[in-house]
Amino acid sequence: MSSTQAIENLINGYATSEDSSFLIPNTTENFLAIRPSGNPISAQGLVGMFDSKDLVAESSELIKTHKIEIYGEMAYAVFTLNEIFNYKGNQNKDISTYTCIFKNENGTWKYAWMQRSQGTTDMKTWE
């Protein structure tokens, strides 16, 4: 499998994961995600959020992968998801753009960094 295909698989895996089990095996040890609030969170912290009763994911769909660039053992990608979830009783219908850095560790690509935009992405930006 090519590096591009491996990264596409990671993007699709995150977009379609139905529970938190996808995240830990597919992230580096020092992975961080930057939430729309600007606050960083570890993979374990994200798993805790997804496993709590405060966050109920209803659906997630990959709208488009905008870019994948690979430079040796590092890569970055930009993609947009359509996400519907309930957080502490508030319904959210977000179109969010993610910027991610990937690292190849011993022949396996993993998420090393993730940053999620607010849920108001204008898809015309990508035309």
Q: Which fold has domain 3-120?
A: Nuclear Transport Factor 2; Chain: A, (3.10.450)
Which of 39, 36, 110, 44 shows the shortest CA–CA distance to 77? 110
Determine contact, residues 77/67, Cβ cutoff 8 Å: yes
Q: 10 Å Cβ neighbour count for 27?
A: 25
Q: What residue spans define the domains of the chain?
A: 3-120
Per-residue pLDDT of the chain (127 residues; tens, 9 = 90+): 899 999 999 999 999 987 788 999 999 999 999 998 899 999 999 889 888 888 888 889 999 999 999 999 999 999 999 999 888 888 989 999 999 999 999 999 999 999 999 878 788 887 7
